[in-house]
Chains A and B, each alone.
Chain A
Amino acid sequence: MSQETVLYDAQGPKARRRTAIGTAVAVVVLLALGYVVVQRLIEQNQFSMEKWGPLIDPSNEAFDAVWRLLGIGIVNTVKAAAIAMTLSVVLGTLIAVARLSLGRTGRIPLVGLVELLRGLPVVVLVYFGVRVLPDVGVDLRSWPGGQELWGLVIGLTAYNMVIFAEVVRAGVASLPRGQREAALATGLTNGQTMRIVLLPQAFRVMLPAIISQLVVVLKDTSLVTFVANYDELLSQGESIRRNLDNPIQTFVVVALLYIAINYSLGRLAQYLQARQARQGRPVAAAETLDAENQVPVGGLGGSA
Chain B
Amino acid sequence: MSAVTENLGLFVDGFLRSLSICLWALVGSLVLGVLIAACRVSPVPPLRAFGASWVTTFRNTPLSVVLFFCAFGLPELGINRSFYFFGVLGLVLYTSAFVCEAVRSGINSVSAGQAEAARSIGLNFSQGLRYVVLPQALRTVVPPLGSVVIAMFKNSAVVGAFGVGGDLWSTGQTLTSARGLETLPVFVGVAFFYLLITLPSGAFLQLIERRVAIAR
Contacts of B183 in A (CB 8 A): 131-132, 135
Determine which of A238, A262, A266, A298 lies in contact with B68 in the assembled complex, contact meaning CB atoms within 8 Å: A238
Which residues between 268 and 304 of chain A lie within 8 Å of chain B, taking CB atoms? 290-291, 294-304
Of the candidate stretches A53-61, A178-186, A198-206, A217-225, the one touching chain B is: A217-225
In Å, the complex CA distance between A7 and B107 comes to 8
Determine which of B41, B98, B129 lies in contact with A298 in the assembled complex, contact meaning CB atoms within 8 Å: B98
Given A132-B184, A135-B182, verify A46-B62 contact (CB < 8 Å). no
A291 touches B46 (CB 8 A): no
B69 touches A44 (CB 8 A): no
Main secondary structure on B side of the interface with A = helix
Of the candidate stretches A82-90, A91-99, A114-122, the one touching chain B is: A114-122
Contact string, B28-44, partner A, CB cutoff 8 A, digits 1/0?
Answer: 00000000000001111
Contact string, B62-99, partner A, CB cutoff 8 A, digits 1/0?
Answer: 11111011001100111000000000000000000010
Contacts of A19 in B (CB 8 A): 43-44
In the complex, which range does the number of interface residues on chain B fall in? 35 or more
Contacts of B66 in A (CB 8 A): 255
Which of B43, B48, B110, B169 has the most CB atoms of chain A within a 10 A radius of its CB? B43
> A residues touching B (Cβ–Cβ < 8 Å)?
1, 3-9, 11, 15, 19, 22-23, 26-27, 30, 40-41, 44, 46, 115-116, 119-124, 127-128, 131-132, 135-136, 215, 219-220, 222-223, 225-227, 234, 237-238, 241, 247-248, 251-252, 254-255, 258-259, 262-263, 266, 290-291, 294-304
| Pairs A–B under 8 Å by Cβ, sample size 5 | A7-B107, A255-B66, A258-B60, A263-B60, A304-B158
7 pairs of A and B residues whose beta carbons are closest in the complex = A298-B151, A121-B157, A304-B63, A247-B72, A226-B161, A262-B60, A119-B198
